[in-house]
Structure 1
């Protein structure tokens, strides 16, 4: 309560932030559907999702999820994920603050003449490599942060971008200790 008024102080509005979650799960049918269902059933959005088996002998997979929410919502998401039976561990890489994140993009660019030369120059300057070339087009591959991928796509739009395929974010914490 403010001393000079009878009205309570306005409540603080917590802003939503982007978080990268790393989830270790059993690699079995239906696990991904259960996790996606947990998000959709509560109205949470998944901005990026990557999944791959990481330990073949133990049949364990890592799911990397990028989502946005307030701290309270993120705490709730993590708690609900940890309750799922096939989930071994949930780690919020954003809270740790020392994560490495990378994304892969394939970009098809149409071009002839000067446009072709410019697309090659821009791709080279950004560290992209050519994975396919014809007389009228290129497919470039670039790996980097989401911001680097976005910048690359924006530049390729100016020289004839035709199609884009992105992997989504793969992430892990720095240092010698694993999940």
Structure 2
């Protein structure tokens, strides 16, 4: 197996920064990018240095990967809107299923290869993409669940306030004593006196 490329030796945080910078620079300005990356490597006390040619090669590969992600996302969005899947959690579920089927095809193709024919970058990018979708889906589902819980809490509070108001009106009309009213609040309504 060939030795790993220098970019692949970057710590995860720096690789994420590199991906963001590649996109921000429009997959260009490799001289400036190499300077910025090597400055960061030096600041972190790492001896690794990466030249503009290595960054250019990696950038071209990553640009293709980013374009495929965008195309897949746009296709999935269009497909879901055509099939009237408006719920965001459902959209993520469908997108994840589609990616799982692609992952299976890639893994199956990789299993048929031997030794140096296997490209670990394909597996890495696919795994990262699936992890990002799963993470995004989980965050959105939690936010949606939190919002549903907040709405339900507010509805319960409004219902209890209305019940208390009606109870107070009924008590006033009936002319009941304070002890009887307190007992009825506790026993029947679960309200505090």
Normalising to structure 2: TM-score of the pair?
Answer: 0.27
Q: Which has the higher helix share?
A: 2
More strand by share: 1
Name which structure has the greater RCO, CA cutoff 8 Å, separation 6+. Answer: 1
Of structures 1 and 2, the larger Rg is shown by: 2
What TM-score does the superposition give when structure 1 sets the normalisation length? 0.28
